[in-house]
Amino acid sequence: MFSSANDGLVIVWSSGSIKHDVISIRSPVYSMTINPRRQQLVCGMSGRICAYDLDPDRESGHLINPLRPAHIAKEHNDIVKVVLCYESRIYSAGYDKKLIIYDSSYNGEKSMTPVHIHRNAHEAGICTLVISKDWDSTWIITGSFDKTVKIWSVDGKLIHRLEGFLSTVTGVCYVPRNKTVWIASGSSNAQLYDPKSGDNISDYIGTFQSTEDEYKYSLIHLKWQPEMNQVIGTTSRRQIIVWKYNPSGCITALRNKQPIESISYTHKRPILIFTGDHDGSIVKWEQMQSNNFMYSNEAFHVTELMLKKMTKMRRLSDKEKMDLKNTLNRMRDKDRREQKALKDSQKLREGKRLSKSSHDDDSKFIHPNKSILSTLFVEDLDIILAASEDGNIYVWGFDDSAVAVLQDMKRSSEKGDNSQDMSGMEKYAILLKDTPSASQLSHSHMDENQLAAYKRMKEEESVSNRVAGFICKYILTEHRSCVTSMCVVHKSYSYESTYLVSGGWDHRLCIWNLESGSLHSTFKDRSHTGDIKVDEDIKNSEWASDGVITCLQYNPDQNEIAYGSSDHLVYIRKFSPEGSQMPLLNTLQHDGEVTALKWNSINKQWVSGSEDGTIKIWAADGMNDLIQTLSEKVAITCLCIDSVNGAIVAGLQSTIKVYDGERFRLMQTNVGHTDSVRDIIHIPERSQYVSCSWDKTIRVWNEWKQVKKRNASDKDKNDIMEVNVPQKLAHTYQDDLEELGED
């Protein structure tokens, strides 16, 4: 290791902090680097750069001959603060504002030829320079006293100019693991930038989100240590701070204004993420095209006008209105007799967490809170369903009138209407591409080109919907209390329509026809055969469980619907659009309230989580035998199934754990949330898990990658490859592969 100082000495250190050599240069050395191509030590001094040949044999008495430099470059006229080597080029920058690129390729001479001199690279002296290399790009990054950072190409062309720093840029480093640039500039937190787009992504990376800017120091220098995957920083208080890269940490952390309860996404491109938060808002998140860290967001609120629209959408016949009115009057009369119980229940609901008592009577008042407890996006209908704490299910969809405008623009373009506004045409150019006509699609036989065109047309229709806008279409209001969970039974499962099944605190299961936007049926227990005009019998016959329903899931493989309850049970029933034709098949037992339930379509298993701290995996046969129990010390808040490898992704308070779906081993732990994780989704198109939490953040994580086992054909290929490999190396390589397969 070489070190230099203003005393004009270059000291060479060996292992154990022992001085190996002390060389007198007789001039302050402000920067140094090794040129591996020429085996030279390149030193930046005041007004010049000196290159010294390395002399391992010490023929001159030192590792370098300080009296005979191989070359002296005098293009600078002030202190050369930074000098770096990259491939056959040497980059230097100094207090004279110059950025100089030298060619050091060997041509029989040891000279340094300047190929590019940028005399005013900054408005003030340059104090830092780094080279950042990615698999597809290489950048030169400079920081200056003018409080700016500039990103250059390797040829010296300016790409981005970064501004808005508090003071002099004293440190810059590039972290290749997450492809970000860290910049130190008078603050205790580093500013993070994407070098490709030049965007400030500090608010989207969780490294400095949880720290408060109250430290009495400022970062000075930053250095990336690739061997240990660490960023090392120094401060104004002579401290050293180390940040270690966490492969299980979140890729992106998105901030929301309210705690978040639920999350869902669209499979169609562009991929949209929808979240439901505590104030009843639906927030749409879309990844920006400039980089993979930043997301744009748009919030949609339920207004009083929409609530009035609800009554307009629910058109009933006169007889249905009269029956409904009589039923509601009977419910109100009963509520007056139970006013005390009603007030007690209302007090329980004013807290942050939902009340989970299975002995309280189902209430029929409008809940004071409006948290969106569950969200689902129905791809076939392009609608999002939001189950609310106020007892309503809000159905949001894309604005049909705006879609019609875009389609009119397309038809006008096909007719060659030149009067169309060209700015609008350019804006929606992606929506106006040529697509096959209806007559072409009517043929039963289409070649590959026609099929590809038809697929492109459907994708463009999806884009049209997303560009058009987002509105609340109607509201489903038959539930009497909080709606906690939903599942969709698609029309493709041999049913006449697309159905929604919802459950909640009123112990009921409601079956909705999503295509007509109306209540189709409700669950009725056939064991209750009393007079249906009696309120108590009506209530008991519609109760699907003794406790409140907390989670709901549909199994399309066996046409089963399962739901968890606060009575510690999971109920499995045969699904039917008619609520009276849903027989109970089995019940699964937990020791606490069931909080999460998922169907693992990869391994054909039911997976349930509970407040008792266990995750249970059940067989899908008629007996539903318990296969495995995963025990944790904290309650299970949510579950997700990896749709690629069947892994079980579980939220355990503020931690996320990923278990192998076959051997049930813990494979990955994700830490970053500071409050309860409420929901998790898997986006296989991006190989990511996305979670939401009460800490008001959405965090994006890398999915767990399952190592594929080798089959017989792969083994034969490896045996063939061993012919050209030395026997010892081939044996080691084979052992490594076998260990990898076992793991």
- 618 found inside a domain: no
| Residues 721 and 662 grouped into a single domain | no
For residue 74, tell me if it sits in a domain.
Answer: no
Tokens representing 46 are 């005041």
In a domain, 46, yes or no: no
Count the residues in the chain. 743
**Which stretch, 387-391, 521-525, 675-679, has highest mean pLDDT?**
675-679
**Residue 347 and residue 136: Cα distance in Å, rounded?**
59
More confident residue, 723 or 268: 268
Range of the domain at 459: 400-437+447-468
Is the residue at 66 inside a domain?
A: no
Amino acid, res. 735: D
- Comparing CA positions, the residue from 600, 659, 593 lying closest to residue 631 is 659
d(CA 522, CA 740): 52
| Angle at alpha carbon of residue 595, lines to 594 and 596, rounded to 5° | 105
Residues 701 and 645 placed together within one structural domain of the fold: yes
Answer yes or no: do 643 and 686 share one domain: yes
Taking residue 266's Cβ as centre, other Cβ atoms within 10 Å add up to 21
725 & 697 share domain: no
Least confident of 240-249, 288-297, 419-428, 666-675: 419-428
Check residue 590 and give its pLDDT.
94
Tokens at residue 181, please?
Answer: 């640039």
Asked whether the predicted pLDDT for residue 714 surpasses 60, the reply is no
Higher pLDDT residue, 252 or 58?
Answer: 252
Regarding whether 699 and 722 lie in a shared domain, the answer is: no
Could you tell me if residue 456 is inside a domain? yes
CA dihedral defined by 551, 556, 561, 563, rounded to 10 degrees? -20
What pLDDT, in 10s, does the model give residues 31-40? 999 998 888 9
**pLDDT at site 30:** 95
* Shared domain check, 724 and 688: no
Phi, psi of 349 (to 5 degrees): -80, -10
Residue 232 belongs to some domain of the structure: no
Number of domains within the chain: 3
623 in a domain, yes or no? Answer: no
Stretch 444-468: mean pLDDT: 52
Long-range contacts of 350-359 (CB under 8 A, 24+ apart): 352/694, 354/389, 354/482, 354/484, 356/547, 356/548, 356/550, 356/566, 356/593, 357/548, 357/566, 358/546, 358/547, 358/548, 358/565, 358/566, 358/567
Assessment of whether the complete model's pTM goes beyond 0.85: no
What pLDDT, on the 0 to 100 scale, is given for residue 216?
77
Does residue 644 sit within a domain? yes
User: pLDDT tens digits for 555-574?
Assistant: 999 999 999 999 999 999 99
Percentage helix, strand, coil for the chain under 3-state DSSP, each rounded to 5:
20, 40, 45
CATH number at residue 641: 2.40.10
Lowest mean per-residue pLDDT among 330-344, 375-389, 482-496: 330-344
Kindly report the backbone phi and psi dihedral angles of residue 269, in degrees, each rounded to the nearest multiple of 5, phi listed first.
-85, 145
| Residue 666, beta-bridge partner list | 659
323, 330 in Cβ contact below 8 A?
A: no
* CA dihedral sign of residues 253, 255, 260, 263: negative
Gap between the Cα atoms of 295 and 547, Å rounded: 40
